[in-house]
Every structure is written in structure tokens, then in C-alpha cells.
Amino acid sequence: MKTQQSYLNNSYIKEMGATVLAIKPEGQNRYRLLLDSTVFYPMGGGQPTDQGKLTHENWTGDVYQVMIKDGEVWHYANETVIPEVNWLVRGAINWERRYQNMRRHSAGHLVDFALYQLGYSPKLLMPFKGDHGKKPFIMYRGTTDEDIKQKLEDKTNELVGRSLKFTTEFQPFEKLQQEAIYLQPGLPNNKPLRTLRLETVGAVADGGTQVGSTKEVGEVKITAIEKKEGNTVIYYQIG
């Protein structure tokens, strides 16, 4: 990958300077740009895309979508003037949108950590996937006959109340394997992987943006728990 992704080390960087490495047309007045570094999060891992602006002198591109395509991070922008390779651009993400996404994403992990602390995950309920967009949920393989909604919400908010730190670190697969409370299938074992830790609770593999403390997540509501074809779907909301 040609782009250095700064959010992997620090989710709070909002602006950047970068060099344009490549440009491709994307229909009328739309282009996608490849940059040597970026603060923009490309949609993935259940987290929505960042949006924002790229500027160069009098040129401003509205970045409406960022995604990984053919192994590279592409910034999709609207602008009538065609940008040029080697331009130095300034970039700024729509921080309000990103911060909301970070809080929602961290909230999903927090509910997951709470479920682990209650003893349901990862054995009885095996973490499977999540989505942290407008109707956020986390999904598990397996079900339980118990009604866990209230105690899961209480445990999650207890972790919020304790203002525990979220931190990230890249480490070899073997180290992550020793430390993680579970590993999702399909992780590459030949490169350093990013570990997300919740202070005093545990660690998982994760590539998304995160808030620094459970306090920033704020109160979490478990809105519904549904059982579907042997799976459990936990819907949640943040304030």
C-alpha cells in the first residue's frame, strides 16, 4: 500500500499535508486521488467512510467517499477542475462525522468487551461481525436462552463510568494471539497486526478508528437483541 494511514496510530489527527501520487476519472466532475499519506478513514470494518476536503491553491475537492480499491486508499472527490499528480494538497476530514463514527465504533467494542466480562463471549457467543453505521449492531454465532439485555447494558455502562483507556499497538501475530480474548477468522499472520486494548479488560485485533477512553463513548443503550438462524444480533445506540 502506497499510502501511509495516520489514523492507525492516532485517530485524533484531523488535518494533513500530502502529495498526489495518482488520479483517475470517476465520471463527470469526479476524480479519485491516491495520496502518499492520509488522515481519511476508508470505509471498512463496519465503519463508514470519512468525508472532508482536499485543497491546493484555488482548487478544492469535496471528498465524499474514501475506499480501498485494488489494495490502495482512494479519495473520491467532486471538482470541475482536474487535479494533477505531484500536487501538494492539504486535507481536512469532517471531524464531527468522524468523531461520531469513532464513538459508535468504540461503543460496539465496549459492548463486546462487556459480553466477554459477563462470560458469554467468545465461547457461547462467538464474535462474528459488526456494523457501526446508522443502525449499529454486533453479531455473534450462537445463542443463549437467557435474557441478557439489561445486564449487558449495565455492564457496558459500568465500563463507561470507569473511564477506561482504549489504546492501540502493532505487534506480531503470535503476540496478538497470546493476548487477544479472541481472533476473528481470516487475519493475515505474516505482518504486524493492530491490537486494540481496553485497560484492565482485554485486547482484540482491530483496524478502525477509536476514541481514547470509554468516557468519550458516553452512555450506551442496548436497543434490541435478536436471534436469527443460530446467530445473536445485538443492536445498540450511543447518546
Nearest to 14 by CA among 96, 95, 104, 105: 95
Residue 134's contacts (CB-CB under 8 Å, 6 or more residues apart) are: none
Nearest to 206 by CA among 141, 114, 113, 134: 113
Q: How far is the CB of 101 from Zn ion (least distance, A)?
A: 11
Question: Which position has the grid cell 497486526?
Answer: 193
Verify cis geometry, omega within 30 degrees of 0, for the bond prior to 83.
Answer: no
Binding mask 193-232 for Zn ion (x = CB under 5 A): -------------x-x------------------------
Contacts to Zn ion from residues 65-84, by CB under 5 A: none
What's the start-to-end Cα distance of the chain, in Å?
36
> CA 225, CA 73: separation in Å to the nearest integer?
35
Q: Closer CB to Zn ion, residue 131 or residue 206?
A: 206
Q: How far is the CB of 40 from Zn ion (least distance, A)?
A: 17
Q: Closer CB to Zn ion, residue 32 or residue 132?
A: 132
Phi, psi of 204 (to 5 degrees): -140, 165
Is 48 a binder of Zn ion (CB under 5 A)? no
Quick count: other Cβ atoms within 10 Å of Cβ 231? 16
Q: How far is the CB of 45 from Zn ion (least distance, A)?
A: 5
Is 127 a binder of Zn ion (CB under 5 A)? no
Q: How far is the CB of 154 from Zn ion (least distance, A)?
A: 23
Q: Closer CB to Zn ion, residue 11 or residue 65?
A: 11
Q: How far is the CB of 205 from Zn ion (least distance, A)?
A: 9
Q: Closer CB to Zn ion, residue 153 or residue 206?
A: 206
Q: What is the DSSP letter of 82?
A: P
Q: How far is the CB of 59 from Zn ion (least distance, A)?
A: 34
Contact residues for Zn ion (CB under 5 A)? 206, 208
